[in-house]
Structure formats: C-alpha cells, structure tokens
Chain A
Amino acid sequence: MRSDRGPSAPIGLKLAATGGLLFLHLPILLIFVYAFTTEEKSFVWPPPGLTTQWFAVTWNRPDVWQALSLSVRVAAISTAIALVLGTLCAAAVSRTKFFGRETISLLVILPIALPGIITGIALRSAFALAEIPFSFWTVVLGHATFCVVVVYNNAVARFRRTSGSMIEASMDLGADGFQTFRHVVLPNIATALLAGGMLAFALSFDEVIVTTFTAGQQQTVPIWMLEELIRPRQRPVTNVVAMVVVLVTLLPILAAYYLTRDGDQIAGSGK
C-alpha cells in the first residue's frame, strides 16, 4: 500500500502529464469558439468577430434535422439490439464454463478489434452478394454488430463482481429462475446495462466508417459532417453541428461514468 501523505510528482512529470491532457482537450474546446465566429469562408484565427446567428441558421436547416433524426433512430434501435445480444452473451460466458467460451469472447470483440473498414466492406459485399438493398435496416445491422461489445464488456465486468452465491441464495429462498432473474440478477446488473447502453448509443451516434459502407442515400449526422469535411459548403453550420455533437456525446459518457464508477470501470476499449 502506498502512504497516505501522497508523494508529490517530479516537476517534469507534472508538466508532461498536464501537457498531454491539454493536447487532448484544447482542440475540442476550439470547436466551441469557432461555433461563434463571424467568418464564413475560411478557418481564420483569431475570429474576426463573434455572433450567435449560426445557431439560428442551423436550427432552420432541414437536412441537419433529418440527419439528426436518422442518427437518433439508428442509435436507439442498434442499442436495443446490442443490449439484448450483449447481455445474453455476457450472462452465458460469465455464469457457465463451457467449451468455446474463449471463442465467443473473441467473436464479440472482433467487430471492433478489426479496423472498421473491414467490417464495413465485409458487410457491403455481403449485402451485394445477397442482393439486399441499402436501407435504414442495413445501417442498423452494421451498428448493432459493433455495439454488442460495449454492452458485453460492461455486463461481463458486473457479472464478475456479482457474487455467484447470490443466485443460489435466491433459489434457496424459494425463487425460481424467472423470479431470481427479475428480483436479483436484473437489479444488480441494471446500472451496468444502462451504462453499456449509453456508450453503445454514443458509439453508434458517432460512427462513420462502417456507416459509409452500409448506408445508401441515408445521411446520419457523421455522414453529413464527412460530406462537409470533404467538400465544405457551409462552414459555420458545420461548426455549430460539431459543437452540438460534442455536447450530445458528452452527456451519455458522463452518465455512464457515474453509473459504473463504484467498482468496475467503463469499458475503455469500446471503439
């Protein structure tokens, strides 16, 4: 155990650590400043002036709203599917030792362990082979596949912390399998599932690589942004959307952190 007084860090280490954290955060903060710039045509710094007019302009853009609505719907449905699949898998893997459970773990992790482009092109060529036209559901199919792992990681961590004798205790006291699930298992994994669900939502909401391969005409928010990045047409609107996206993803991540902070950590390997 370390001493309570807490040793103080060497100054060089402090500087390097602070510098690293600033490197991580300053660029994101910059987005907030640009959302208010009066400059339309370039990324000039410092901003020639500040205005809030772009918020109103963005608010009145139907394409932004459509993209947002699609992203939310895709994320919600993908999260729901991932919650069911991830929880089932985690329960099976952590409750029983069976032949091939390592393989199952690998199977779940593979969609994020392999680069997104592989998942994307694999799905795309499979859709092409099976002659499935691109639709809302092809996007969901892709998203749910890589969201499973986030729920799975959170649920497995919680199952591991949950004492196995609790389930035996419940059955011993007269609860059958369903009652045990409802009154003991579910309440104990609920916050982990909620956290996993939030992260899955954030992951899906933000995903672009797989989406470019599985979407036809559908434009999610990231696809919309990607278009703007490649061919900038509306820089001020992009600035505002970028800021909103930062805020929208911030909330579920903070919530997930507070839901799981006693004990297990948010599955950091989630992307």
Chain B
Amino acid sequence: MTSAVSFQKVSRHFGSVRAVDAVDLDIVPGEFFAMLGPSGSGKTTCLRLIAGFEQPTAGSISIFGERAEGVPPYRRNVNTVFQDYALFPHLNVLDNVAYGLMVKGVGRPERQKAAEEALALVRLPDYGARRPGQLSGGQRQRVALARALVNQPKVLLLDEPLGALDLKLRENMQEELKSLQKALGITFVFVTHDQGEALSMADRVAVFNDGKIMQIGTPEDIYQRPKTRFVADFVGSSNVLPPDFVQRYAGQHRWGSLRPESIRISRANGEGVAARLVSTNYLGATTRLALDAEGLRLHAIVPAGAALPREGEAVVLTFNREHLHLMDELG
C-alpha cells in the first residue's frame, strides 16, 4: 500500500542550520499521526515540507505515491490548520470556509452549501455571517478546521492547533478532533510539543529532536519502550537509568528506563536498591515520591492511601525486572 506521506532522506537546511536532517518517514493512509518534539526540533518544518511552503534541500517527498518536490502548495491536495488560524479578516466565516472552493471555480450556491455543511460538521452551524474578529479562540479554531476540511484534502495538517486554547477547551477539542478523524477517515498529521496531547490522540507518534526523528511508534511504544534517553526524558516522567546501574540489575551496559509506577517501596531491611525518601507529593489518586538512590534521583508513584515512610527515611526499592526497559543507547 502506498503511504499517505513518504519522506526519503529529506533534509531542509537554512544556511548552516539543519532544521530537518535526513529524515525518513512513512505515514499510513487514514492514520492520526503526531509529530512531537520541543520547539526547533524540526517538526513544524516537516509539516511545512508536506504542505509545500518549504522545499527540501535534499531527499524526496511523495504524497500518495506522487512526487511532491517543486509542486506549489496550491496544487497539493493537502490542507493546513494554522497555529494562528490565519483566517481572512476581510471575509465572513462562510466565505472563509468557502474560499478553497471559490478559487477552484465552484459556483456560489454550491460552495456555500458545502461551507454550511462543513460548519455544521465542526458544530458552528449558524456562524456563517460573522466576521472572524467576532469569534472566540475556540470558534476560530473550528472555522479554520472547517475551511481546511471543506476541500476534502487527502491529508490534513494541523500545526499546534490547540496551543492557544485553555485547558478545558483543549481537552474537548482533542476528543472532537479524534472522532472527526475517525468519521472522515482523512489522514491527520498533527504537530505538537505537548506529549500528553500526542499520546492521547495519535495512532502513531514521531518524536523529533535536532532535526532528526528519534523514534516512531505507537503511543504505548513511545511511552513504555523509549529507544533513547531523549525520548524517555521528553515523553514521560520515566526514570532514566545510567548504564552502570542497569549493568547491575539487568546485566547489560546500556541506558535503561523505568516507569515511576513500576517501582515498589519497602522498609529498609529487604533486598533491592537502597535509597532515601526525599519528598512526597500528593497528587490526588496517587502520590509521587522523590527518592535518592546512591546519588541517582528517581521518582516513584504509589496509590494514595498506601502506608508511606517519612521523608528522610531509608527505604529499599524493588521492581519487576521485566519493567526495566533497555534502550538502544549503549553506555
């Protein structure tokens, strides 16, 4: 099966800055794909390469099997939801949504009908006559979504679309986007720096750092089995374990990771890792403990209500060997 989007050794350099550095990538048709990474990691440049706003310095890009280098954005059947929404201030909401059809020469009654349907789809049915300036941030976001969807793109690109929204609205929109994507079956490519957002929404996640992809996988893969220290660090609150430590417990000299919820704590008389409780942090359903194990700072999460040692007390840590994940990075 052809990929929805395929990158082969794609690089994009700005002067001496390697924004995207020899990236290989295959996005499956119909999947919800997230590009996750800190700012400046190259994820947005990758999105712009798919949209056609940037051209690769080297490598090749194809969209549904067709070569896309040198093809202007207006000839790609790909649409974008911009971070700042980029609604046209001089057009009302309906004309904003109908814009793509207008420039393709679709007649007025037909394109207005389609625009109204798209607005209904994003649950803004009666907003057509308003100006973008009269809408709230969340509403603008929906209009931007409708404006992109009305063109029936093969791939929908979303550039940090939820970044400007407040927490509650963001959670609602996450669910809505997810169900919209399921219903429409369009390939979504979603750029974000929020690992929670990427893990909860995406079918697969690519973690970017320094213009390279560190790891591609399902959210579970990324979360449970990070391949590098960077991924373990960035994606979650995993404990990153140095090779010497791992050597002692798993017999291999490489970096490891251990989820905080995999660590069990007992009083200082059993076998295990000797540690000292530094602080406890009550989080409602769970309690988060900061521990000092021979100079290594570890975190553990225990269910609320469990009997806890006092801060400063010596404890012994145990964990199931299977939960100790060995990363690809050697010591």
Which residues does A use to contact B, with CB under 8 Å?
163, 165-166, 168-176, 179, 183-184, 187-188
Task: Give the nearest-CB partner of A165 in chain B.
Answer: B86
Q: Residue A168 contacts which of B78, B86, B90, B148 (CB distance < 8 angstroms)?
A: B86
13 contacts between A and B (CB under 8 A): A165-B82, A168-B82, A168-B86, A169-B87, A172-B52, A172-B53, A172-B73, A172-B78, A173-B151, A174-B100, A175-B99, A179-B103, A188-B88
Does chain A have a CB within 8 A of B259?
Answer: no
Does chain A have a CB within 8 A of B74?
Answer: yes
Q: Let me know if A168 and B53 touch, CB within 8 A.
A: yes
Q: Let me know if B103 and A172 touch, CB within 8 A.
A: no
Q: Let me know if A163 and B86 touch, CB within 8 A.
A: yes
How many contacting A-B pairs (Cβ < 8 A)? 66
Q: Report B-chain residues with C-beta under 8 Å of the C-beta of A172.
A: 51-53, 73-74, 78-80, 148
Does chain A have a CB within 8 A of B84?
Answer: yes
> How far apart are the CA atoms of A133 and B80 in the complex, in Å?
58
Task: Give the nearest-CB partner of A173 in chain B.
Answer: B100
Given A163-B86, A166-B88, A169-B86, 9 additional A-B pairs, CB 8 A: A165-B83, A168-B73, A169-B82, A169-B87, A170-B103, A174-B104, A183-B103, A184-B88, A187-B90
Q: Which of B61-110 contact A (CB under 8 A)?
A: 72-75, 78-80, 82-84, 86-90, 99-100, 102-104
Q: Report A-chain residues with C-beta under 8 Å of the C-beta of B86.
A: 163, 165-166, 168-169
Q: Report A-chain residues with C-beta under 8 Å of the C-beta of B51.
A: 168, 172
The 10 closest A-B pairs by CB, nearest first: A173-B100, A169-B86, A165-B86, A175-B103, A171-B73, A187-B90, A171-B74, A172-B80, A179-B103, A165-B82
CB distance from A54 to the nearest CB of B (A): 47
Most buried by B among A168, A170, A173, A176: A173
CB distance from A68 to the nearest CB of B (A): 36
Q: Let me know if B74 and A176 touch, CB within 8 A.
A: yes
CB distance from B81 to the nearest CB of A (A): 9
Q: Report B-chain residues with C-beta under 8 Å of the C-beta of A188.
A: 88-90
Question: Which secondary structure dominates chain A's binding surface?
Answer: helix
CB distance from B85 to the nearest CB of A (A): 8
Does chain A have a CB within 8 A of B325?
Answer: no
Q: Let me know if B80 and A169 touch, CB within 8 A.
A: yes
> How far apart are the CA atoms of A179 and B100 in the complex, in Å?
11
Q: Residue B103 contacts which of A165, A168, A174 (CB distance < 8 angstroms)?
A: A174
Does chain A have a CB within 8 A of B147?
Answer: yes
Q: Report B-chain residues with C-beta under 8 Å of the C-beta of A175.
A: 74, 99, 103
Q: Let me know if A173 and B103 touch, CB within 8 A.
A: yes
> How far apart are the CA atoms of A168 and B147 in the complex, in Å?
14
> How far apart are the CA atoms of A187 and B90 in the complex, in Å?
7
Q: Let me know if B72 and A183 touch, CB within 8 A.
A: no
Q: Let me know if A183 and B53 touch, CB within 8 A.
A: no
Q: Report A-chain residues with C-beta under 8 Å of the C-beta of B88.
A: 166, 169-170, 184, 188
CB distance from B63 to the nearest CB of A (A): 14
Most buried by B among A163, A169, A171, A183: A169
> How far apart are the CA atoms of A187 and B92 in the complex, in Å?
13
Task: Give the nearest-CB partner of B147 in chain A.
Answer: A173
CB distance from A37 to the nearest CB of B (A): 50
Task: Give the nearest-CB partner of B77 in chain A.
Answer: A174
Q: Report A-chain residues with C-beta under 8 Å of the C-beta of B79.
A: 172-173
Q: Report A-chain residues with C-beta under 8 Å of the C-beta of B52.
A: 171-172
Task: Give the nearest-CB partner of B159 in chain A.
Answer: A165
**When A168-B53, A168-B82 are in contact, do A173 and B99 touch as well, CB less than 8 Å?**
yes
Q: Which of B101-150 contact A (CB under 8 A)?
A: 102-104, 147-148
Q: Let me know if A183 and B84 touch, CB within 8 A.
A: no
Q: Report A-chain residues with C-beta under 8 Å of the C-beta of B74.
A: 171-176, 179
Q: Residue A170 contacts which of B83, B99, B148 (CB distance < 8 angstroms)?
A: B99
CB distance from B75 to the nearest CB of A (A): 8
